[in-house]
Structure 1
Amino acid sequence: MDDVLSDLSARLRASLLEGLPAEALLTDPQVTASYATDMASFCAAGTPAVVVLPRTVEQVQHVMRTATALRIPVVPQGARTGLSGGANASDGCIVLSLVKMDRILEISTVDRIAVVEPGVVNAVLSRAVAERGLYYPPDPSSWEQCTIGGNIGTASGGLCCVKYGVTAEYVLGLDVVLADGRLLRTGRRTAKGVAGYDLTRLFVGSEGSLGIVVQAVLALKPAPPRQLVLAAEFPSVAAACEAVCAVMEAGLTPSLLELMDRTTVHAVNALARMGLPEATEALLLAAFDTPHAPEDLAAVAELCTAAGATAVVPAEDQAESELLLQARRTAFPALEALRPATMIDDVCVPRSRLGEMLDGTAAIARARNLLIGVCAHAGDGNTHPIVCFDPADEDETRRARESFGEIMALGLSLGGTITGEHGVGVLKKEWLARELGPVGMEMQRAVKQAFDPLGILNPGKLF
């Protein structure tokens, strides 16, 4: 068997080098091992046979033709900032890292689009279009590292979802290399278009299981005014969630509505010394990016006070606003610093059930004797309970895994979904089946079979 595997590995490398420069191929086991996983805990990963870093569409096509001919699995990757194991390698696979395909090909101020390669970093694109008076809204917490291709693969969201929506709403068209190496172009460059099935939306969130995105046409918006932020302290998470519901019911449209519980606030202060109010049980951040932002913030302040806020503090200037936003972006790394490992959940529920979700999560933490901090895109009901634990402690690790599942079950019982923006990957495969049901899973597998009949694209993910 070892001889067979060795021969296949040699054939694979020789075949890849027929269409790739030598520097695009990484074969040193110590190097390839570093590409085996993304940032998720408790997700199985294999050992890749080779890592390929293409720079052109033609090189990606060659990789897929080679993989099809030799029946070798291919795992596409971006910056590997994912949190569900969706970019984890499988044994003997080709890891196809797209980070070298990082060109912004076009920015059109008339059509309000950007045409980009998949390796473009989210923050790089955001800054580039801002120089032209435009705005690309999706802004995951990892926006300084994550790539547009990865954002498309997981249908990422971000802090501004409450007003501007998620990645899927900004992807107008895609160039996709299929499993057999053919190039498919989906969607359009126009503001409108309904010709045929919406294959573009099908690829967004498919986690590299249907094809390799090699180019994207993205919608842009005019740059809004700089947003102003308000911070409100609450004596309970339930009161903060009541304020969130009141804001949405009042018809206000904040550009950001984020919540951090007491554990998260303390963690952010411990890591970044930001001086957030540690006596609060929940801190709600609201922002507006309109010309009448001060008036909108005043309306939110009244609603927060009516819901029981103990203090409402609007930022005095742009610098204070940026500081508060940075506090929210620091939440994940701050909680990760509390214990040797974390499991980051991603459960989205109807806004009207947000308080039940957070109270239920706190009850799970108490019952399991675990440290679980919660930060949330409260405006769209997307919660991120972060289970902190020590993997060297077997009992605590067991309790962490059990709490993770209990949190997802809670979300489903409240009419929610197991993932709002992080994807399914390896971590939530069994839960996808529970959410979709047998008929839904049958249709999902039929779509996969149509695009990838050999099952070589990111195998072992989703289902």
Structure 2
Amino acid sequence: MPRPNLTKSGPQRRCRTHDGVMTVENSHALDELVAALPEGAVLLDPDVTAGYRQDWAADPAAGHPAAVVRATCTEDIQTVMRWATANRVPVVPRGAGSGLSGGSSAVDGCIVVSTERMRQITIDPVARVAVTQPGLMNAEVKKAAAEHGLWYPPDPSSFEICSIGGNAATNAGGLCCVKYGVTTDYVLGLRVVLADGTAVSLGGPLLKDVAGLSLTKLFVGSEGTLGIITEITLRLIPAQPPASTVVASFDSVQEAADAVLAITSNMRPAMLEFMDHASINAVEDAVRMGLNRKAHALLLAQSDAPGAAGVLEIETIVQACENNGATEVFATDDQAEGDAFAAARRAVFPAVLAMGSLLLEDVGVPMRALPQLVTGVEAIADDLDVLICTVAHAGDGNTHPLIVFDPADPDMSERAQIAFGRVMDLAIALGGTITGEHGVGRLKRDWLPSQLGEDVMALNRKVKDALDPLGILNPGAVIAVKEASLD
């Protein structure tokens, strides 16, 4: 059956304004969209679409979508964007919904485009690349690569439940990024659908390619505000060598942070993670790993350097910890033991979530400022009488202070919100960032101008306006929407 023409027709007003962007006003426009897409692609039942309102950040201000489109190919998304442009309706892209900054929170009357059904992948073991649709989980990409003796390194703590498309949209990092880098370091090419429905192919399976502007890098980390990623070409590397592990306990976060600087000044470990006292105990309550409950800080480090180089790295890590006041240092070559400690670190988010509602931070600072950041977060928690559990990818200065509160307690909720802002203010004051890997989304948007400054914010707006002049792509994420009229 031929698909209908998706241009705006007739004098009837089809949309109304919402935060400066148009939203669907009647069912006729939606009927056109349903007819233009494969059967079953469009979900309209409010009880079903409600499940697509929020990501893990559980933004209470999330709106109610008019419909959810579960796309299976680039062409489906092109159809949605042509229709959305013709009708001036906002579109919110969504991967697995595991985001932590409200980046895929729906807005009232929008179309949520879910990539959950886009799950094809091919591996070229000769070129060492994977070409994947965005709906596969990070863990599934790793598994497909491993079947050819290859490895895709970026590994967010949520790697089993976060999509590779969402990883690209937020430039996700993970536990091993201190040595191996983040998502953008492995994205060689993208296929992207722009706001007007144009599909563009950027980059490709080349390790070196400097033809034209670096547009591939522009879209990585753009959080669905410039286009919707429908295919990703990823660089793969040989499988990771077996790793040795060091676990060290400290009586203070200052000593642990000093040990981090001592380690990173001499080497780049395969992993270097930090947990504070509250995080240690939350994880121990959940997984019973035998962690030292009395410790005020714990470092988890790994080396995967081969042979004598690996032995030297482990010795260097142990000495750095001991020289900076570690009360207990444990080193092991046993892969299963090392994996268990890494799993305990990954368990922090769900373990802390069991303690109450969370405001999740993702602030990073230059390495020299890491001690000031972690001790500053402690001071904020004490001053406001709130519980903040801090974990960190300590090797690159990216920390995750998790603010725990009871939403039924108005006073505690207010103090938690104040702490959220103070932590970001602290990171900015230390020359850092409000987000190292989770993205700005909607929850951190108001702090972005303080970090970037007026001129850089204006440059961001120019790029957004050039690629999305109607402001229909993920409005309100990263950059505040502009006022619009019905004209």
Match of 2:280 in 1: 265
Match of 1:406 in 2: 422
Match of 1:307 in 2: 324
- What is the CA–CA distance in structure 2 between the aligned matches of 1:417 and 1:125, rounded to whole Å? 29
1:161, distance to aligned residue in structure 2 (A): 0.8
Alignment of 1:280-359 (within 5 A): 280-292=295-307, 293-339=310-356, 341-359=357-375
Residues 259-308 of structure 1, C-alpha deviations (whole Å, 9 max, x = no match): 00011000001111121011111100000112233332122101111111
1:394, distance to aligned residue in structure 2 (A): 0.0
- What is the CA–CA distance in structure 2 between the aligned matches of 1:62 and 1:256, rounded to whole Å? 43
Match of 1:169 in 2: 185
Q: Select 2:387's aligned residue among 371, 395, 398.
A: 371
Corresponding residue SS for 2:414:
helix
The answer to whether the 8 Å contact 2:24/2:110 transfers is: no
The answer to whether the 8 Å contact 1:364/1:406 transfers is: yes
Alignment of 1:157-196 (within 5 A): 157-196=173-212
1:253, distance to aligned residue in structure 2 (A): 1.9
Match of 2:9 in 1: none
1:12 corresponds to 2:29 = yes
Corresponding residue SS for 1:23:
coil
1:446 corresponds to 2:466 = no
1:22, distance to aligned residue in structure 2 (A): 2.4
Match of 1:154 in 2: 170
Corresponding residue SS for 1:87:
coil
- What is the CA–CA distance in structure 2 between the aligned matches of 1:199 and 1:254, rounded to whole Å? 31
Letter of the 2:329 counterpart: V
Match of 1:99 in 2: 116
1:115 corresponds to 2:131 = yes
The answer to whether the 8 Å contact 1:258/1:285 transfers is: yes
Match of 2:289 in 1: 274
- What is the CA–CA distance in structure 2 between the aligned matches of 1:89 and 1:298, rounded to whole Å? 50
1:315, distance to aligned residue in structure 2 (A): 2.5
Q: Select 2:98's aligned residue among 81, 103, 106.
A: 81
The answer to whether the 8 Å contact 1:350/1:415 transfers is: yes
Residues 75-118 of structure 1, C-alpha deviations (whole Å, 9 max, x = no match): 000001001100000111000000100111x2112211100001
The answer to whether the 8 Å contact 1:72/1:94 transfers is: yes
- What is the CA–CA distance in structure 2 between the aligned matches of 1:297 and 1:177, rounded to whole Å? 46
- What is the CA–CA distance in structure 2 between the aligned matches of 1:326 and 1:227, rounded to whole Å? 14
1:450, distance to aligned residue in structure 2 (A): 0.7
**Pair 247,3 (structure 1): closer, same or farther in 2 beyond 3 Å:** closer
- What is the CA–CA distance in structure 2 between the aligned matches of 1:247 and 1:214, rounded to whole Å? 40
> How many equivalent pairs are there?
460
- What is the CA–CA distance in structure 2 between the aligned matches of 1:35 and 1:462, rounded to whole Å? 19
The RMSD of aligned alpha carbons is: 1.6
- What is the CA–CA distance in structure 2 between the aligned matches of 1:183 and 1:267, rounded to whole Å? 46
- What is the CA–CA distance in structure 2 between the aligned matches of 1:17 and 1:387, rounded to whole Å? 42
Match of 2:6 in 1: none
- What is the CA–CA distance in structure 2 between the aligned matches of 1:223 and 1:374, rounded to whole Å? 31
Match of 1:419 in 2: 435
- What is the CA–CA distance in structure 2 between the aligned matches of 1:312 and 1:8, rounded to whole Å? 63
Q: Select 1:68's aligned residue among 85, 88, 95.
A: 85
Corresponding residue SS for 1:348:
coil
1:249, distance to aligned residue in structure 2 (A): 1.0
Letter of the 1:380 counterpart: D
- What is the CA–CA distance in structure 2 between the aligned matches of 1:7 and 1:41, rounded to whole Å? 24
- What is the CA–CA distance in structure 1 between the aligned matches of 2:304 and 2:346, rounded to whole Å? 18
Q: Among the aligned pairs, what percent are the same residue?
A: 50
Match of 2:238 in 1: 222
Letter of the 1:320 counterpart: E
If the length of structure 2 is used for normalisation, what is the TM-score? 0.92
1:37 corresponds to 2:66 = no
- What is the CA–CA distance in structure 1 between the aligned matches of 2:59 and 2:230, rounded to whole Å? 30
Letter of the 1:324 counterpart: F
The answer to whether the 8 Å contact 1:43/1:427 transfers is: no
The answer to whether the 8 Å contact 2:15/2:88 transfers is: no
Letter of the 1:76 counterpart: P
**Pair 451,2 (structure 1): closer, same or farther in 2 beyond 3 Å:** closer
Residues 407-445 of structure 1, C-alpha deviations (whole Å, 9 max, x = no match): 000111111010000101110111111111111111100
Letter of the 2:323 counterpart: A
Q: Structure 2: 5+ residue runs without aligned partners?
A: 1-11, 17-22, 480-487
Letter of the 2:463 counterpart: V
Corresponding residue SS for 1:365:
helix
**Pair 3,109 (structure 1): closer, same or farther in 2 beyond 3 Å:** closer
1:47 corresponds to 2:98 = no
If the length of structure 1 is used for normalisation, what is the TM-score? 0.97
- What is the CA–CA distance in structure 1 between the aligned matches of 2:362 and 2:302, rounded to whole Å? 22
- What is the CA–CA distance in structure 1 between the aligned matches of 2:326 and 2:276, rounded to whole Å? 14
**Pair 73,264 (structure 1): closer, same or farther in 2 beyond 3 Å:** same
Letter of the 1:172 counterpart: L
Corresponding residue SS for 1:118:
coil
- What is the CA–CA distance in structure 2 between the aligned matches of 1:423 and 1:436, rounded to whole Å? 14
**Pair 269,174 (structure 1): closer, same or farther in 2 beyond 3 Å:** same
Q: Structure 1: 5+ residue runs without aligned partners?
A: none
The answer to whether the 8 Å contact 1:43/1:84 transfers is: no
Match of 2:265 in 1: 249
Letter of the 1:24 counterpart: A
